[in-house]
C-alpha cells in the first residue's frame, strides 16, 4: 500500500490480486470507505455505485479464485466521468439539460472496462458539458474540489476524475479531452493523464464538445497505470467516425526500457516568452529535461509559432463546433443551461464560415510545425499549466481570455500527450508537465513519462485529507 494515499496503484494492486494477496472485495471496500469519509468535502462523485461495485467485486474475486484472471484491471475500482453512456444510469454531463437522459447502451470504453473486469465505482463530476472554463456552483451538481487544497480549482473539465484519483477514491478514472480536459485536472491535481492520438480510443458513447478535438483517456496516479488502462481502452471502433483502424502496440512491456539515446525537445517559449509563467513552473519544467539528460537522453530547445496563435485557432474552432453540437438545445432549452457554459457556447454562433475555414487552414500549418519538430526529436516537453491553481470561486466570466490555453496546441495537432507531475509550488500545490510524442507512438511517451517519474521521485507526496 502507498502509505499516505491509502490505496495501491493499479500496477501494485494488479500484482497482488493476481497473486492472491489482495482481495478485490477488500480493495473496493477501502475505496468506498474513503469516499464515504472524505468525499462529502471533495465532491468528486455525484453518484456512487455502492451495491453494483460490491457485487462486481465479489464476482471478480470468484473468477480469479477459479483461475479466470482477465488481466491487470480485473478487480480494480475505476471512476467514470459523467459524460459516458452507462446503461441503467443517467448520463448528465452535469447539466440540467441532460438531467433525465439515460442511454440504452454503454459507451465503448465502458464496455471495454467491464470486459476487463474493472469495478465501476461511481460517476464523477465534470464541468457542464465539459465546457465551463472554471468550476461553477449553478450546474446540476456542485463542483469537485482539489484534494491538495479544497479552496483551489481542480481544473477542468474532468474535475471529478482528477480529484478522485488524487484523493485515493479510485485507482483510475476515465476522462475526456477537447482542449486540455484530461491534462489540466491531471496537472492541477498532481496525477498522470493521457490524451492519446486522436482516433486511438473510441469516443462512441461520449457526450461530445467538439467534432475534431474530443479524445478519451485514462487518469491515474502513475504513468505505468495510464499504460495499463490505455492497453484496455485503445482500439478501433467502427461506430466512432474518428476512430482509426491501426494496430495497438504493447504499452506496458517497454516501460522500463529507459530513455538513453532519445532526443527530447523542450518548448520553453510557451512559458517564458509567450507567457511569463512563475519561476516555480519554469524551474519544474526545465528540470524534466535535466532529469532525462541524467538518464541518457539528448536535450534541445524547440521554437514554434507563438502560443497566442495556437490559442486563437483553438478558440475559434472549439466554440463553433460546440455551438453546432448544442444548437438545438440552446434554442429550445436556454434557461436550463448554466450561464458560463451557455455563454461560451454562444460565442460559437458568432464564428463565420470564413473564420472557421481560415482557422482550419492555420491549424494545418501549425500541425506541420509540430510534425517538423518531431522529425528531429523523439519527444517534446512543455508545461501543462501557466499559472497556479486559481481559487475555486474564481468569478472570471471568460477565463480563457486571461491566460492562453497551454493544452490546446496538441488538440489541434492531434498528437499523444502524457501529463506528469513535474514539481511543486512553494505552497505545496503540484505542477504538471506535458510529454508529447509522434502520432500513434504513445509507447515512447509513456516510457519517457515512467522513466522521469521513477527518477524524480515526486509521487511519494500525497494530499492530506481531512
Q: Known catalytic residues?
A: 81, 157, 181
Cite the beta strand spans of 238-393 per DSSP E: 263-266, 298-301, 379-383
Are 89 and 121 in contact by the 8 Å Cβ rule? The answer is no
Which residues neighbour 117 within 8 Å (Cβ) at sequence distance 6 or greater?
A: 60, 63, 70, 71, 73, 74, 75, 76
SS3 content of the chain, % helix, strand, coil (to 5): 45, 15, 40
Neighbours of 335 (CB within 10 A): 7
CA distance 267 to 294: 19
For the record, the C-alpha cell of 260 comes out as: 538513453
Distance linking the first and last C-alpha atoms of the chain: 20
- Could you give the C-alpha distances from 410 to 386, 400, 416, in angstroms and in order? 15, 17, 8
Angle at 240 between CA 234 and CA 241, to 5 degrees: 120
Helix (H) or strand (E) holding 183: helix 183-189
Tell me the HSE value of 288 on the side-chain side, using a 13 A CA sphere. Answer: 35
Q: Minimal CA–CA distance to 410: which of 187, 215, 206?
A: 215
Structural contact between residues 259 and 296, judged by C-beta atoms closer than 8 angstroms: yes
Taking alpha carbons only, the member of 124, 174, 130, 168 closest to residue 147 is 168
Half-sphere exposure for 86 (CA within 13 Å, toward CB): 24
The residue among 236, 237, 238, 218 whose CA lies nearest residue 228 is: 218
User: Residue 63 — left, alpha, or beta (φ > 0 → left; ψ -120 to 50 → alpha)?
Assistant: alpha
Phi, psi of 432 (to 5 degrees): -115, 155
Amino acid at each position: 500500500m502507498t502509505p499516505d494515499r491509502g490505496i495501491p496503484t493499479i500496477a501494485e494492486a494488479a500484482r497482488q490480486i493476481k497473486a492472491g494477496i489482495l482481495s478485490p472485495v477488500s480493495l473496493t471496500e477501502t475505496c468506498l470507505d474513503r469516499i464515504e469519509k472524505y468525499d462529502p468535502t471533495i465532491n468528486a462523485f455525484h453518484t456512487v455505485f455502492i451495491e453494483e461495485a460490491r457485487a462486481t467485486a465479489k464476482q471478480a474475486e470468484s473468477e480469479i479464485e477459479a483461475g479466470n484472471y482477465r488481466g491487470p484491471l480485473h478487480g480494480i475500482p475505476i471512476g467514470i466521468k459523467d459524460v459516458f453512456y452507462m446503461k441503467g444510469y443517467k448520463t448528465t454531463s452535469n447539466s440540467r439539460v441532460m438531467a433525465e437522459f439515460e442511454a440504452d447502451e454503454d459507451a465503448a470504453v465502458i464496455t471495454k472496462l467491464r470486459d476487463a473486469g474493472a469495478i465501476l465505482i461511481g460517476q464523477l463530476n465534470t464541468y457542464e458539458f465539459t465546457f465551463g472554463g472554471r468550476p461553477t456552483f449553478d450546474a446540476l451538481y456542485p463542483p469537485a474540489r482539489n484534494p491538495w487544497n479544497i479552496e483551489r480549482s481542480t481544473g477542468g473539465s474532468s474535475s471529478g476524475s482528477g480529484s478522485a484519483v488524487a484523493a485515493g477514491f479510485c485507482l483510475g478514472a476515465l476522462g475526456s479531452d477537447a482542449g486540455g480536459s484530461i491534462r489540466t485536472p491531471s496537472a492541477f491535481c498532481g496525477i498522470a493523464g493521457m490524451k492519446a492520438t486522436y482516433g486511438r480510443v473510441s469516443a462512441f458513447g461520449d457526450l461530445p464538445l467538439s467534432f475534431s478535438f474530443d479524445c478519451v483517456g485514462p487518469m491515474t496516479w502513475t504513468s505505468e497505470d495510464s499504460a495499463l488502462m490505455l492497453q484496455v481502452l485503445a482500439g478501433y471502433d467502427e461506430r466512432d467516425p474518428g476512430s482509426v483502424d491501426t494496430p495497438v502496440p504493447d504499452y506496458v512491456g517497454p516501460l522500463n526500457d529507459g530513455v538513453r539515446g532519445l532526443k527530447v525537445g523542450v518548448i520553453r517559449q510557451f512559458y517564458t516568452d509567450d507567457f511569463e509563467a512563475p519561476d516555480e513552473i519554469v524551474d519544474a519544467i526545465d528540470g524534466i529535461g535535466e532529469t532525462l539528460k541524467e538518464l541518457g537522453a539528448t536535450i534541445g530547445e524547440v521554437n514554434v509559432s507563438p502560443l497566442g496563435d495556437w490559442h486563437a485557432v483553438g478558440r475559434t474552432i472549439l466554440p463553433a463546433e460546440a455551438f453546432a453540437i448544442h444548437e438545438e438545445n440552446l434554442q429550445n432549452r436556454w434557461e436550463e443551461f448554466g450561464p458560463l457554459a451557455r455563454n461560451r457556447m454562444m460565442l460559437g454562433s458568432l464564428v463565420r464560415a470564413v473564420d472557421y475555414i481560415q482557422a482550419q487552414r492555420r491549424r494545418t500549418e501549425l500541425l506541420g510545425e509540430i510534425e517538423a519538430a518531431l522529425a528531429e526529436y523523439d519527444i517534446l516537453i512543455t508545461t501543462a499549466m501557466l499559472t497556479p491553481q486559481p481559487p475555486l470561486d474564481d468569478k472570471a466570466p471568460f477565463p480563457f481570455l486571461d491566460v492562453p490555453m497551454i493544452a490546446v496546441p496538441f488538440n489541434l495537432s492531434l498528437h499523444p500527450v502524457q501529463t506528469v507531475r513535474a514539481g511543486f509550488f512553494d505552497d505545496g500545490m503540484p505542477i504538471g508537465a506535458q510529454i508529447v510524442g509522434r502520432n500513434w507512438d504513445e509507447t515512447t511517451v509513456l516510457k519517457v513519462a515512467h522513466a522521469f517519474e521513477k527518477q524524480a521521485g515526486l509521487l511519494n507526496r500525497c494530499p492530506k485529507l481531512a
